[in-house]
Structure 1
Amino acid sequence: MPIYRCNQCGFISEDTSAPIGSKLPCARCSAASTVYDTVFYVEKLLERYVAALREVKALQQNDPAPEAPAAQQAAPEPAPPALLDADMRNTKLLATPEQHAPLQAWFQSRQIEARFEHALVDTSGFFDDAACLIGDGYALFGELMERVCFAYRKSHSGVNLELGNLSQKDAQAINQLCRQLYSHTFFARYHYQKPEKIVRLTLQAAPAMRQFFDGGWLEWYAFIELLKQTQAHGQAFSCARGVKVVFPNEDLHELDVVCLPQGQAPVVIECKSGEFRRDIDKYLRLRKRLGIERSRFIICAADLTQEQASGLSAMYELSFVNLPMLALHLAQLARLAA
């Protein structure tokens, strides 16, 4: 049975009409809410509860309380945390107008209209988890992403992966990723033919899944990396994804990932999982119109080598990185600002 919980008002409801993985308006406040399979949703909640319970017990062991009288030593079990509470990845904090307000003010000060979709930074789903799995292992998983993306473009219903020519370790890693993505509903069906070492995947029809495989995963990966580096250096910030900016002459552009650390200029990341060279001039002009230093306007291209990225950065007034280089570049920006 499909289920959703609104991150704005906390309303919980079942809805048999919406496909799993899609978004639908909350019945109480109309905010966009992601639909999950009930069994999978409960399993994920229990995982988080068990993890929180372990952490509480570990803290109690490391910092024991003074010995109390025998009658007072028995303590009740800690209550389960609230369903997808704000402490779980600060979902409620990120997906609010208030969190976006500093970015809004920054653009307004430059006579630029910024249009935000607050739900795009909602990390209560599994898009960010899946993106990190893919991004961290992209050297191995890149072909899988290309095959799935191609299948969507050609309106194919599924993908077959032959793993027999790979090493046992690589084959196991790809099979495990496919199984994990299936468990998170990124695929409609998953089947592994062990004797032939073939993984058979049926694609999800939901538009959200098609968008994820067609480059959305890279935006999520860059967004999470940016949050990690900003939080690691204790910086207050405002962040957004998919920001539509309208200049005074009514030119419209979309910025994939934007973060505004307090007291600094924004960091903009444009994410490219395919061909991007024809867009270089567009990004040069956009960077200059925004008035951002070249080091803070980043083109993250998944298929670049380190040598290619360094060469392009030397040729153009932009910062080109691949996935392994992204975290290093962001950490350097944070250190320079500290």
Structure 2
Amino acid sequence: MPVYRCNQCGHVSESPVAGTQVPCAACQAHCTVYDTTFYISKLIERYAAAVREIKALKAENTTISEAEAEAASSSAIANPPKTPEPVNSPESPANLATAAQHAGIEQWLKSRQIEAQFDHSNVDTSGYFDEAAQQLGRSYDLFGELIQRVAYAYRKSHTGLNLDLTHSDQKDIQALTTLCRQLYSHTLFARYHYQKAEKVVRLSLQPAPKVRQFFEGAWLEWYALLELLEVLQQRQLVFSCARGVKVLFPNEDVHELDVVALPHGQAPICIECKSGEFRRDIDKYQRLRKRLGIERSRFVICSTDITDEQASSLSAMYDLTFVSIALLPRHLASIV
């Protein structure tokens, strides 16, 4: 049967006679009635034309996109991206003590809804703390007793101490007296005197709070930081580092991270430094590691009170990595 379509309202209906005009059944507007076969053929022609137009537009867009991609590729080849220069270099240690240098770690923690508080001066290597710490740490077997006695004297509010070296061999005496003299020259001791005949070193303690903190444990943090920085710089990596970072979790739990570094393109490394008892804190560190989402090999407990064998055993028992002070540099080199 013939059909019509109203140009006014779009209504479609049938009508008995083709080639006539009839009022629209919906809006009463005049509509021309067409033979059904003729009407369908015209619809097919319009549909085919629309399809050809769409294909032509798609082909044009593809050509433009390919041209843009080719231009971008040529530009990239002609102007390759510059590799970022490490801002943390041995030649510019003061660069570490800036907000910009700490920004990488801050952003990483923020992405986990963890607020961080930094004291930028904690990584300022322009003083003598770092140098002294590295000397103490790298010869801890020899200098460990000195550190322990100085820390004990501070805790007992003593103003000085005497080191009896009569039972030490000449090589160790020379190393100890040289160290004490250097620490005195760097103002870490208030007074140094060596009575050669009696083989006694007399030391007066420096009352400055930062020096006391250094001997009571901060020296180990400095040592861990310096050993970590040395590995990162040997690998020529860009990194963000911090010491003594206070972290606040969403549930308001507060913790402190002794040493943390974020090498570019790698996961963070966290080192907790223990110069005294640590066994009661093992569970706390396991939970902290999991909350931070750091893999066990990169969450390190460095203790002055364990041997390499004990460190290996503890690492097998818990979801943490334990290292002795002597093993720390080797472990850091294996994970960076």
Q: Which amino acid aligns with 2:218?
A: G
Name 2:284's counterpart in structure 1. 282
Q: Which amino acid aligns with 1:273?
A: S
CA distance in 1, matches of 2:90, 2:262: 22
SS in 2 for 1:155: coil
Name 1:323's counterpart in structure 2. 325
**Structure 1 position 87, deviation (Å):** 7.3
CA distance in 2, matches of 1:89, 1:228: 12
CA contact (8 A) 2:94 2:125 kept: no
Q: 2:254 aligns with which of 246, 252, 255?
A: 252
CA distance in 1, matches of 2:166, 2:230: 37
**Structure 1 position 92, deviation (Å):** 3.0
- CA offsets 1:16-71 (integer angstroms, 9 cap, x no match): xxxxxxxxxxxxxxxxxxxxxxxxxxxxxxxxxxxxxxxxxxxxxxxxxxxxxxxx
CA distance in 2, matches of 1:179, 1:137: 16
Q: Which amino acid aligns with 1:157?
A: T
Name 1:91's counterpart in structure 2. 93
Match runs of 1:113-152 below 5 Å:
113-152=115-154
SS in 1 for 2:190: strand
Q: CA RMSD in A?
A: 1.1
CA contact (8 A) 1:89 1:124 kept: no
Q: Percent of pairs identical after alignment? A: 65
Q: Which amino acid aligns with 1:207?
A: P
SS in 1 for 2:256: strand
CA contact (8 A) 1:96 1:118 kept: yes
Q: Which runs of 4+ in 1 moved over 3 A?
A: 86-89
Q: 1:197 aligns with which of 191, 196, 199?
A: 199
Q: Which amino acid aligns with 2:240?
A: S
**Is 2:189 the partner of 1:211?**
no
Name 1:170's counterpart in structure 2. 172
CA distance in 1, matches of 2:93, 2:167: 42
SS in 2 for 1:324: coil
**Structure 1 position 91, deviation (Å):** 2.6
**Structure 1 position 89, deviation (Å):** 4.0
CA contact (8 A) 2:274 2:301 kept: yes
Which segments of 5 or more consecutive residues in structure 1 lack a partner in the other structure?
1-85
**Structure 1 position 88, deviation (Å):** 6.1
Name 1:263's counterpart in structure 2. 265
CA distance in 1, matches of 2:100, 2:116: 14
CA contact (8 A) 1:238 1:260 kept: yes
TM-score, scaled to structure 2: 0.73
Match runs of 1:301-320 below 5 Å:
301-320=303-322
CA contact (8 A) 2:116 2:246 kept: yes
CA distance in 1, matches of 2:290, 2:92: 33
Structure (1 or 2) with the larger CA radius of gyration:
2
Match runs of 1:69-88 below 5 Å:
none
How many residues get paired?
249
Q: 2:112 aligns with which of 110, 113, 116?
A: 110
Which segments of 5 or more consecutive residues in structure 2 lack a partner in the other structure?
1-87
TM-score, scaled to structure 1: 0.72
CA distance in 1, matches of 2:146, 2:109: 38
Q: Which amino acid aligns with 2:333?
A: A
SS in 1 for 2:150: helix
Q: 2:240 aligns with which of 238, 241, 247?
A: 238
CA contact (8 A) 1:186 1:209 kept: yes
